Amino acid sequence: MRTKKVKLQVLQEITVEQQHKVAQPEDVMEIMQKIIMLEPKEVQAQERIWAVLLGNSQMIKKVVLVAAGGFTECHVDLKVLLRDALINGCGRIILVHNHPSGDPMPSADDVNLTDRIKRGCQTVDMKLIDHIIVGSDRFYSFARETPGIF
């Protein structure tokens, strides 16, 4: 029987140096705004998706860029996302992505992505606790705005 080799790649890892506990979406946004602002303007114009990896005590362990796309869409490889969470011993994940248009309102694709990641997390006994979409001057939190999705 032949086995197939698969190469998984993390685009960017950010270790959070200070201990940050997540109690509400604003706690995540405090970190993510700093990360996003460090990126060059041309990169900020592309859709990007990060996973904020949390321990069971809601402390941020790591922030990982899991996908980078074009101006209107981005694909998340669920295997990469879950691998990073498992390796880091994280039981909870917050998905964060930017909308280069500046409007943080979720599209149907964003809702489908949230559901797909949630179901994938459940298969390995993890929990997706929020999906935050970052716009120009505001953000949308699925946990806050549509809590029934979780």
Whether residue 103 lies inside any domain: the answer is: yes
Whether residue 109 lies inside any domain: the answer is: yes
Q: Which stretches does DSSP call E strand in 22-120?
A: 48-54, 60-68, 92-98
How high is the pLDDT of residue 39? 76
Range of the domain at 137: 12-149
| CATH number of the domain bearing residue 82 | 3.40.140.10
Does the CA dihedral 63-69-70-75 come out positive or negative? negative
Whether residue 116 lies inside any domain: the answer is: yes
- Total structural domains within the chain: 1
Whether residue 127 lies inside any domain: the answer is: yes
Whether residue 1 lies inside any domain: the answer is: no
pTM of the model: 0.84
Whether residue 101 lies inside any domain: the answer is: yes
Helix, strand, coil shares of the chain, percent, nearest 5, are 35, 25, 40
Whether residue 5 lies inside any domain: the answer is: no
Q: For 115-127, what is each residue's pLDDT tens digit?
A: 999 999 999 999 9
Is residue 2 pLDDT above 70, yes or no? no
